[in-house]
Structure 1
Amino acid sequence: MKKYNNLAEGPDGFVYTARLPLSSATLNWLSCLIRGHLKKIGSWWRALSAGRIAGIVLAVLRCDQRPSDLAGGNGVHRTTVSRWVREVVGLLAARAPRLDRALKKIARSGGGVVLLDGSLIRTPRRTGTETRKNYSGKHKCHGLLVIALTDDKGRLVWVSAVRPGRTSEITACRHYKLTAHLRAAGLGAIADLGFVGLDDGGPDADPAVIKCSAVPAQRKARRDYENRVSTLGAPA
């Protein structure tokens, strides 16, 4: 009996069209950002247009598509896609607001509080002794820690730079002097019980961080949380 062990796929691979969960306004905004950068550095030629570069980068950042797969489907090399991703990430990072300016903007708009939380971005395990820095004992995995602030409606205001995964959330907040920035802007922050001990301004200082329970089932803790928010009020 003759056996057929050949692969079903063709030698050139299979190319398909996918849809990203992003608006066209996001794609157009990023395309204009790339065009402005290319004009600024005097790079008048790229293998693909700024619009297609923006789509490829968004596919990598938003949907974690592999650069090698996107490179093969667009007729470029994998290292080219990786270089585009690093380039765009640098452009986006340069436009990120500073912490003090972001908080002052919230205060000027009439806001009184921000929501504070930490998040671990999972990463592959690194080799050697460097892997210990990124291992989080809390989450039992490797990753990088970021601290995020949102307004009272959940809209992102500020995201910190990444810290090693073993860093605690309180240590990261103290590194960025978060409570000092909150008091300078006249704002308060709502945090879960994981941030107990962060606000060390003393009994006479205005509360910069209010702790609340993160468990939705505890209705009493939820009511206390809402009462504490209402007592802060808007800054003068």
Structure 2
Amino acid sequence: MLFYRAAVDLLRPTLNYLAGVIRRHRKAIGSTWRLLNPGQQALLVLAHLRKGQTFAELGAGAEVSTSTAWRYVQEAVALLSARSPKLAAAPRKARQDGLHLLVLDGTLIACDRVRADRPYYSAKHRCHGMNVQVIAGPDGAILWTSGALPGRTHDLTAARVWGILRELDKTGIITPADKGYQGAEACVVFTPYKGRDKPEAQKQANPRTPGSAAPANANAQLKSGGSSAGSAAAPARPATSSRPSPSYRTTKPPEDEKAQGRVDGPAVRPLRGRR
């Protein structure tokens, strides 16, 4: 195997932050010695999350086994997930910060094709991936991200699974969303008008939806690490430790979702990284 020097386009404070999180965790569990120090483990994890390199490649570069590289990444992702904002806290903080507008959108994070690949294939994007829901501010700053569901899941179904609509209704902040959320039971979620023969008033209202550029800005941040297809599976855990809403029940899907064939229940397990 040949080796070469490479760079990760991240700032030093990012590495220092993750190294500090790992260092405090090792001290808390009484871990006295490991093959890599906290800084080296943090660099390995960031290289995987940012560039999508395989665990075999990371392990060879860091002079550890593939399984050790996998464990290091899983440990760090779990620590970061525990520090991510929770769904109930994100809208409340937005109101405290004086935000009068939020944006709800779903995105597809590409992943490797697996044996049981049908639930992960998105007909909309024509690739395999995981559906992640994003709540962002009007400037595109990410406030909260959901857990990962199979890519075939419809955005409205995913929003119901995670209990997003109920939490947005509690805060009462106006939340524009795309056409994929039409039929949402939340009073604060507004979607564009559908159809070709719309009245002139509806045509003028659609492009003027507040925060229309925010979803693209927010989702670009999630995808800035590049697709993991062909190199490594997507991170084993989402950017948050969210769990499906306990009040969610699988019911007969609306006709618009059933026609598109995008309804999946929460029982399908998200894709995990390869060892």
TM-score (ref. length: structure 2): 0.69
Structure 2 unmatched ranges of 5 or more: 194-202, 213-275
Partner of 2:29: 41
In structure 2, how many angstroms separate the alpha carbons of the residues matched to 1:75 and 1:162? 31
Give the deviation of 1:103 after TM superposition.
0.7
In structure 1, how many angstroms separate the alpha carbons of the residues matched to 2:13 and 2:192? 37
Partner of 1:225: 209
Task: Report the residue type matching 1:103 in the other structure.
Answer: P
In structure 2, how many angstroms separate the alpha carbons of the residues matched to 1:141 and 1:177? 26
Equivalent residue of 1:157, what SS?
A: strand
In structure 2, how many angstroms separate the alpha carbons of the residues matched to 1:158 and 1:179? 13
Give the deviation of 1:149 after TM superposition.
0.8
Partner of 1:10: none
Partner of 2:182: 196
**1:80-229 superposed matches below 5 A:** 80-127=68-115, 130-198=116-184, 200-201=185-186, 207-212=187-192, 220-221=204-205, 224-226=208-210
Partner of 1:52: 40
Structure 1 unmatched ranges of 5 or more: 1-12, 202-206, 214-218, 229-236
After TM superposition, where is structure 1 displaced by more than 3 Å over at least 4 residues in a row?
A: 219-224
Give the deviation of 1:163 after TM superposition.
0.9
**Higher relative contact order structure (alpha carbons within 8 Å, sequence separation ≥ 6):** 2
Q: Which whole-Å deviations, capped at 9, do the CAs of 1:101-143 have from their partners, x for residues lacking one?
A: 111000011001111111111222222xx32222222222222
Q: Which whole-Å deviations, capped at 9, do the CAs of 1:61-90 have from their partners, x for residues lacking one?
A: 011122212211221111111110011111
Equivalent residue of 1:162, what SS?
A: strand
The number of aligned residues is 204
Equivalent residue of 1:22, what SS?
A: coil
Higher helix share: 1
In structure 1, how many angstroms separate the alpha carbons of the residues matched to 2:146 and 2:117? 21
Q: Identity rate of aligned residues, in percent?
A: 37
Asked if the contact 1:100–1:185 (Cα under 8 Å) also holds between the matched residues in 2, the reply is: no
Task: Report the residue type matching 2:133 in the other structure.
Answer: I
Higher Cα Rg: structure 1 or 2?
Answer: 1
Quickly say closer, same or farther: Cα 1:20–1:108, change in 2 above 3 A. same
In structure 2, how many angstroms separate the alpha carbons of the residues matched to 1:27 and 1:221? 44
